[in-house]
Structure 1
Amino acid sequence: MADDAPLAAAKHDKPTALAARAVTINQPVAEVYSRFRDFAAWPAFMENVVRIDVHDERRSHWVVKAPGGSNVEWDARITEEVPGKLLAWESEPGAEIPNRGYVEFRDAGARGTVIVATIDYDPPAGVIGKVIAKMFQREPAIQARRDLRRFKQLLETGEIATPAMNAKQFEEMGL
């Protein structure tokens, strides 16, 4: 029988690492939810997502960058959806990185919408895998914070800010 407790309180062995992040976006809830629900557009603001193939309204296939230049893949399904309020998912059995999570959308009045994203995942190789992912900046808690910030920029300004010059350009200039 599935544990229906919130992820932070659920009694289960796997997944094992919990990451929760929040951001306020100066847009109405309906707009934020609609844009977030468009999974095929996620690679535009999610740095490590190579692609998401949407199979239908509830199922999708994910390809994500992993430490060391490789990719990991899994199938996921939406487990609960309350339009404008909540979107929950879980990876299908056999996923390379078992994961589940939910995103809450809260009306913040004149400030727009607060998004709270909670991700629960089972890092490969346990704690060692999590440390390696952190070293390569591929750990989901780090990525969630960055991805939500980029999503905010995209919705509020229509673009994602990038540095004027990247590290390779500085290197080529001898700086």
Structure 2
Amino acid sequence: MVVSTRAGAERSQNITVVRQAPPMSRTVSAAGLGAVGGMVTEYLFDPELGRSRRARLRDKGVRLTHGVRNGTRTVVRDVRNRGQGVLGAARYRTTGREADDEVLHERVRAELGRHVRHPREVDVRVESGHVTLTGDVLDRESRRAHRAVARIPGVAGVDASWTTHHDARRAPRSREDGGPMEALQDLFRQRWSPAGRSLTGLAAAVVWSLSGRLPRPLGYLVRAGCAVLAARAATNLPLRRLTGIGAGRDAIDVGDSISVAAPAEEVWPVLSDYGLFARWMPDVLDVRRSDDGGRSQWRVSGPAGVPIRFEAVETAREEGRRIAWKTTEGQLVAHSGELSVTPEDAGRSRIQVRLTYNPAFGAVGHAVAKIFGADPGRKFAKDLMRLKSLIETRRAPVGAGAGPRE
């Protein structure tokens, strides 16, 4: 027994404990978090600019808090109103069957306005709940309108004796303008309702959290779809404006106005002179108009200061009041602009400027540029101040025309 105990003790003394090093990914993550924390600390507690940065961050936090609070109230109000609408529709379907012919007539006219291009061309007659429809409609509208009228509470039967036409121009009383007022689903509208945005964002988050159980290729596809829906709900912009694909010149819309201490007749020569654009928009290097004045050649400062050239055509000119232009088809930079001046009291004038353009990746690129400091809206406000200074002092402001701004 003594020998066995000694042998066990000797074996225990020969055991070597090996400690595994932390994974490389964990080390890199810790180093990255430390670097980010250091940069944030240096940014916020800089001896010269730290105080103003903290104040600006505090103001943005207050603004974000107010925005979230107002947004929450808007969503709650929208959900409540929509709930009342659903209850009203259900009550209409259940209790609306007891209606006289005059009420049914108005219901049929209202429903036809949602499904027929020219509802005034349809004559409606109601007798004891039976609806007779005569007149002229298009082939593609006939069946849909017939079903819609038949679903109206209180309608006992529908006799569609109208004349159908394949082409609207062949109808006796038809016109080419107008169209049926179809009720689009919220997801297919250009602007979503607050309730639709909230529910879509919530659904995207739930589906994202559950996508980890799916196979990898399918899971990645589902997560990409959730990211697109979340971005759509957060920005409330159509996908073509969000991505810039197929948006033309209308991906981003920037506009503002400013009041200047000069009458409109003195403002207009400065505002309408393309050659002066570079004096109050430093990103514009120069603009040259053609001999006929209808076209203009632009040279602007692009990424990394590389000049970009494009051609624009003037689309409107009201002497003394307004000018508008847009880039020609096939240009690298797609944008349109409008400048207008309106007189004010006491010899003052108000200048209104509106620009629409399509940056790289649409509104996503616009948001990324704003995060990294190249905020087009802020630049736009500074440009207007330069224009105000140019008009009121009759000279270019200090620093203008010296090259692109940071």
Give the aligned partner of residue 172 of structure 1: none
Asked whether the equivalents of residues 288 and 296 of structure 2 are also in contact (C-alpha less than 8 Å), the reply is: yes
Aligned 1:78-117 pairs, distance under 5 A = 78-117=314-353
Between 50-59 and 15-24, report the one with greater CA deviation. Answer: 50-59
For residues 150 and 35 of structure 1, do their structure 2 counterparts lie closer, same or farther at Cα, with a shift above 3 Å needed?
same
Give the aligned partner of residue 290 of structure 2: 55
Give the aligned partner of residue 118 of structure 1: 354
Whole-angstrom distance in 2 between the partners of 1:87 and 1:30: 15
2:374 alignment partner, one of 137, 144, 148: 137
2:305 alignment partner, one of 69, 89, 96: 69
Q: Deviations over 1:52-89 (max 9, x none)?
A: 12113121011111232222221011101111111111
Whole-angstrom distance in 2 between the partners of 1:95 and 1:136: 26
Residue 43 (str. 1) matches residue 278 (str. 2) = yes
For residues 100 and 46 of structure 1, do their structure 2 counterparts lie closer, same or farther at Cα, with a shift above 3 Å needed?
same
In the alignment, structure 1 segments of 5+ residues that lack a partner are 1-11, 164-175
More strand by share: 1
Question: Match for 1:36: what amino acid?
Answer: L
Whole-angstrom distance in 2 between the partners of 1:161 and 1:60: 25
Whole-angstrom distance in 1 between the partners of 2:280 and 2:344: 22
More helix by share: 2
Q: Deviations over 1:110-155 (max 9, x none)?
A: 151101111111112323432454335373x333221111011011
Give the aligned partner of residue 20 of structure 1: 255
Q: Report the TM-score when normalising by structure 2.
A: 0.35
In the alignment, structure 2 segments of 5+ residues that lack a partner are 1-245, 400-406
Structure whose CA Rg is larger? 2
Asked whether the equivalents of residues 99 and 122 of structure 1 are also in contact (C-alpha less than 8 Å), the reply is: yes
For residues 71 and 136 of structure 1, do their structure 2 counterparts lie closer, same or farther at Cα, with a shift above 3 Å needed?
farther
Whole-angstrom distance in 1 between the partners of 2:337 and 2:394: 27
Whole-angstrom distance in 2 between the partners of 1:76 and 1:95: 9
Question: Match for 1:18: what amino acid?
Answer: D
Give the aligned partner of residue 162 of structure 1: 398
For residues 142 and 73 of structure 1, do their structure 2 counterparts lie closer, same or farther at Cα, with a shift above 3 Å needed?
farther
Whole-angstrom distance in 2 between the partners of 1:161 and 1:39: 17
Q: Deviations over 1:8-56 (max 9, x none)?
A: xxxx932210000111111111111111111012112211111112113
Residue 149 (str. 1) matches residue 385 (str. 2) = yes
Asked whether the equivalents of residues 247 and 358 of structure 2 are also in contact (C-alpha less than 8 Å), the reply is: no
Between 129-138 and 20-29, report the one with greater CA deviation. Answer: 129-138
Identity level (%): 23
Whole-angstrom distance in 2 between the partners of 1:130 and 1:53: 28
- How many pairs align? 151
| SS at structure 2 position matched to 1:27 | coil
